[in-house]
Amino acid sequence: EKQGLKQLKPWSTGTTIAGVVFKDGVVLGADTRSTAGETVADKNCEKIHFISPNIYCCGAGTAADTENVTGMISSQLELHKFRTGRESRVVTALTLLKSHLFRYQGYVSAALVLGGFDCKGPHLFTVFPHGSTDSLPFCTMGSGSLNAMAVYEQGYKEDMTKEEAMALTKRAIRAGIFNDLGSGSNGGLWGIKA
């Protein structure tokens, strides 16, 4: 701070977002509470964003950043689809997202759970604000992520049906809502299937 640089302070996203892969697709879930510091700013904030008909994304972090990043990637994928004449692949969306976020080195506050189904099957990724990614069978992000992860670790099994995956994700989001003050209001689920 002596040289005029301010040290970044840790922050909490105030969100619970989650996703799980099932036999034929992916289920994404999110709470709907938006916070501004310790104040509830919006009780019905949409955190599940459209990327393409076969790809959706949950966002934690600054609402404007997640909305603009996912909107920009959605339009780039639409142009790519027109150019190639093929359906968008999830890994293409992942590459565009992580390249954009890496360019800004974490200053674009968008932590994302990306899920979709393409010619290679179901895919689920986490994308961190600095551009690093993970590919997992289930994942959570946000301030309620530890509570949701406990539910996933206890209840996950391979080759679940869509109904089992939806029920598990519903329980995971509910755990985040009930055990994290920054998460809350309602929960939303989105299933992506072949």
Our separate counts of H helices and E strands in the chain read 4, 11
169 is catalytic: no
- Cβ-contact 28, 189 below 8 angstroms: yes
Which residues partner with 142 through β-bridges?
Answer: none
- Cα 184 to its chain centre, rounded Å, is 16
- Cβ-contact 140, 18 below 8 angstroms: yes
Of 13, 15, 70, 126, which one is the catalytic site residue?
15
Residues 86 and 4: their CA atoms lie apart, in Å, by 50
Q: Give the residue numbers annotated as catalytic, written as ranges.
A: 15
